[in-house]
Amino acid sequence: MYQKVLTIQDISCVGQCSTTVALPILSACGLETVILPTAILSNHTAGFKGFTVHDLTDEIPVIHRQWQEEGIRFHAIYTGYLGSCEEVTHVKNIIATMLAEGGLTVVDPAMADNGKLYTAFDMAYVEAMKSLCFAADILLPNITEACLLADVEYKESYDRAYIDAILAGLAKKGAKTVVLTGVSYEEGKTGVVVYEQGRYSYYEHQKIARGCHGTGDVYASAFVGALLKGRTTPEAAKIAADYTVQCILNTLDDPAHWYGVKFETALPDLIRELQ
């Protein structure tokens, strides 16, 4: 079935992240992709000298009302970076009124990494996100975000038992399916844990030393694309991981391209994988 997906996140005009990767990746997967920007930034906030931002919180309910009048519905709604508790509330209202029967919700919390919240957020935002995350069909956190949502202490060194405790904490709070990224049990390797209906699977892949901005958005978008093209959750998790790694590898030989990954160059590989 030809499907329509709504992605709700910011637009960073320069920087290859958020909507500027979600729209082309989902479209390349063969999905009609509708965007709802939460803010417009001149560029993302990492590594540049500065940035401009125009908040669009007040526009979201206006757009929502117009869509309702038009009778628009979505087969899937996928959320990324949301800028405030108020935007979280708006998103919950959109999901409640605009998701087609049997539709899918995927939430990437996009609020923390490396043991810390992003500077724009506080614990009040975490609490607001919990109500969105635990109502989603699929939750896509990294370890830091999962710890915040599950109320588990963050640790840099861990074992399988620690990851199991995080997943159990998320499940206890209502998480249905969890795709936990950045899980590393071995030096030089990292991977993705899928926790679905009490079942645990782990896909391990190469860990690349260079950190690249926007790879979480690349991963989430490829995952949603693969899932909506009929792949199982573990299959979609693997496809998205392989695609993200290839995007990074395609960028390593260009030191001038420090602000994101060349995700466009790997799109043919993703398309072939889904055909």
Residue 209 pLDDT greater than 80, yes or no: no
Q: Which helix (H) or strand (E) holds 54?
A: strand 53-55
Over range 165-181, report the average pLDDT: 97
pLDDT band at 198 (very low <50, low <70, confident <90, very high): confident
Question: Is a pLDDT exceeding 80 seen at residue 11?
Answer: yes
> Does the pLDDT of residue 112 top 70, yes or no?
yes
Asked whether the predicted pLDDT for residue 110 surpasses 80, the reply is yes
Q: What is the mean pLDDT of residues 113-139?
A: 96
- Is the predicted pLDDT of residue 45 greater than 70, yes or no? yes
Overall residue count recorded for the chain in this entry: 275
The torsion angles phi and psi of 247, rounded to 5 degrees, stand at: -60, -45
**pTM of the full structure:** 0.96
205: left (phi over 0), alpha (psi -120 to 50) or beta: beta
Domains of the chain: 4-156+213-274 (3.40.1190.20)
What confidence score (pLDDT) does residue 200 get?
93
Higher pLDDT, 111 or 212: 111
pLDDT band, residue 212 (cuts 50/70/90): confident
Tokens of 172: 């206890």
How many Cβ atoms from other residues are within 10 Å of residue 114's Cβ? 11
Report the distance separating Cα 58 and Cα 84, nearest Å. Answer: 12
Is 2 a residue whose pLDDT tops 90?
no
Q: What is the mean pLDDT of residues 108-133?
A: 95
Looking at residue 62, what is its pLDDT? 98
Percent of the chain past pLDDT 70, that is, above it, reads 100
Other C-beta atoms lying within 10 Å of the C-beta of residue 172: 11
> Does an H or E element contain 6, and which?
strand 4-14
- Supply the pLDDT for residue 64: 98
How much is the pLDDT for 1? 60
Amino acid at 217: D
Distance of alpha carbon 249 from alpha carbon 254, whole angstroms: 10
What is the distance between the alpha carbons of residues 211 and 142, in angstroms, rounded to a whole number? 14
3-state secondary structure of 102: strand
By percentage, how much of the chain surpasses pLDDT 90? 93
pLDDT at 211: 77
**Mean of pLDDT values over 220-226:** 98
How many whole angstroms separate alpha carbon 232 and alpha carbon 201? 12
Helix (H) or strand (E) segment spanning residue 131: helix 123-133
Mean pLDDT of 156-176: 96
The average pLDDT across 173-195 equals: 95
> 50-80 pLDDT, tens per residue?
999 999 999 999 999 999 999 999 999 999 9
